[in-house]
Amino acid sequence: MLITKIYQPNEVKIAAKELKLGELIAFPTETVYGLGADATNEQAVKRVYLAKGRPSDNPLIVTVASEKMITKYTGPLSSKARKVIAKFWPGSLTLVFDIKPGSLPNAVTGGLTTAAFRCPANNVTRKLIELAGVPIVGPSANSSGKPSPTTAQHVFHDLEGRIAGIVDDGPTQVGVESTILDLSTEKPTILRPGGVDVTEIEDVLGEKVISDKHTVKNSEIPKAPGMKYRHYAPDAKVLIVRPNQWQSVFEWTEKQKDPIGVMATSDILASYKKNEYSYDLGKDVVMASRRLFAGLRYFDEMNEVKTILVAEFPEDGLGMAYMNRLKKAASNQYFE
């Protein structure tokens, strides 16, 4: 079995050498941990799909260290692209562009004529890419369909023995993946809500952005991750709890023979008696977004927990990204 090494930030030179040799290296970003391979090496990219158990028609995000790195694949960028890059890169915004034919392997693009690019707000990872000298693919570093990893330990749990190494830069700060903005279409379109709010993008572009195209049909190839397959789900059943339901929830959990996992804000949990099966999401949606995946993973480790109840937040700002992930984890099921 492959030995998965843990690299500290000062060891990125060694990790970059592994990437250049075609190995898989997990890396930190401000959102979640990604699984890296040389994006120009088709065989290495195919191993990413195998390591994750990911469907091969689900395209991969290309992670870069700078704007300059992407023009080799896209050609000159539009004024719209330069505006959003100037404002949001490095950061939690992924951009979809038309690319030059044959410039990236089909294993990266899913056979599409577009590709998604992101420059993360993590100095360690940008240094890793610079030292490798190539862009790297960057899907979340977890088993496909499971909650995304927000620590190196989460990655090790899922992918030990399947990847060469993990660069450990501590817990991530945002906790939900990047916003994906499609700039290959006439109208800028959000394909996945995330760390950057649609209103921020509209302010920069000075125009309306389409923001309701988050899924595709089974017969379609998605342009971006998270649009087609079940995502972010633990083994236990997940149910969403509306703000006015918590008293009913607590009364219901008291009557259950099996323990029920409860993920809610600090103020709600203050009145919950069964604290041994609770997970604190913090005081607001910012903290809840950071802790959502970690909480789902926390209960995934408890075989006795078959049901997890998770707090709903209003679907605006970062709440749109939080609820997008939670609804996928819960298959859109609410506590009734």
Is residue 180 located within the same domain as residue 308? no
Q: Is the pLDDT of residue 327 over 70?
A: yes
What CATH number does residue 182 fall under? 3.90.870.10
**Residues 26, 154 share a domain:** yes
Lowest mean pLDDT across 34-48, 92-106, 222-236: 222-236
In this model, does residue 223 exceed pLDDT 80? no
Does 178 carry a binding-site annotation? yes
Q: What are the C-alpha distances in Å from 276 to residues 272, 288, 292? A: 10, 19, 18
84 occurs within a structural domain: yes
The answer to whether position 147 is within a domain reads yes
Residue 248 in marked binding region: no
- Confidence tier at 116 by pLDDT (50, 70, 90): very high
Mean pLDDT value across residues 229-255? 88
In a domain? residue 34: yes
pLDDT band for position 2 (cuts 50, 70, 90): confident
Q: What pLDDT, on a 0 to 100 scale, did the predictor assign at position 222?
A: 64
Q: Is 232 annotated to bind ligand?
A: yes
| Percent with pLDDT over 70 in the chain | 93
Residue 219 belongs to a domain: no
Mean pLDDT (the chain, rounded): 93
What type of residue is 282? G
Pick from 7-21, 115-129, 151-165, 203-217: least confident: 203-217
CA distance to 36, 105, 268, per residue, from 22 (Å): 10, 14, 48
What is the layout of strands, in order, in the sheet containing 278-280? Answer: 237-241, 307-311, 260-264, 278-280
Number of domains in the chain: 2
Q: Is residue 49 annotated as involved in ligand binding?
A: no
What CATH number did the domain enclosing 297 receive?
3.40.50.11030
Segment 271-281 shows an average pLDDT of 85
192 is in an annotated binding site: yes
Q: Is 150 annotated as a binding residue?
A: no
Q: How far apart are the first and last CA of the chain?
A: 46
Q: Which of 187, 205, 223 is the last residue of a domain?
A: 205
Question: Do 147 and 269 belong to one domain?
Answer: no
Cα atoms in the Cβ-side hemisphere of radius 13 Å centred on 43: 5
Position 146 scores a pLDDT of: 87
Q: Answer whether residue 58 is part of any domain.
A: yes
pLDDT at position 330? 95
Sorting pLDDT into bands at 50, 70 and 90, what band is 221? low
Q: Is position 74 annotated in a ligand binding site?
A: no
Closest CA to 231 of 292, 147, 291: 147
Task: Write the pLDDT tens digit of every residue in 57-69.
Answer: 678 999 999 999 9
Q: Which whole-number Å values give the CA distances from 180 to 67, 159, 195, 214, 227, in the listed order?
A: 16, 25, 9, 10, 11
Same domain, 61 and 172: yes
Question: Which has more confidence, 227 or 280?
Answer: 280
Q: What is the pLDDT of residue 58?
A: 78
Same-domain status, 115 and 262:
no
Mean pLDDT check: name the lowest of 38-52, 194-208, 233-247, 265-279: 265-279
Q: Are residues 256 and 199 in the same domain?
A: no
**Among 205, 221, 245, where does a domain finish?**
205
How many residues are present in the chain? Answer: 336
* C-alpha to C-alpha distances, 122 to 125, 148, 164, nearest whole angstrom: 6, 17, 21
Same domain, 166 and 287: no
- Indicate whether 216 pLDDT > 70: no
- Do 183 and 247 lie in one domain? The reply is no
Domain boundary among 156, 183, 205: 205
Tokens of 178: 């990047």
Q: Do 182 and 275 have their domain in common?
A: no
* Residue 31 annotated in ligand binding: yes
In a domain, 53, yes or no: yes
Q: Is 56 annotated as a binding residue?
A: no
Q: Do 174 and 32 share a structural domain?
A: yes
Domain span including residue 260: 237-329
Q: What is the pLDDT of residue 214?
A: 54
Is the N-terminal amide bond of 90 cis, ω within 30° of 0? yes
Residue 33, annotated as binding a ligand: no
Residue 65 sits in the same domain as residue 21: yes
Judgement on whether residues 123 and 256 belong to the same structural domain of the protein: no
Q: Does residue 300 form part of some domain?
A: yes
Residue 303 covered by a domain: yes
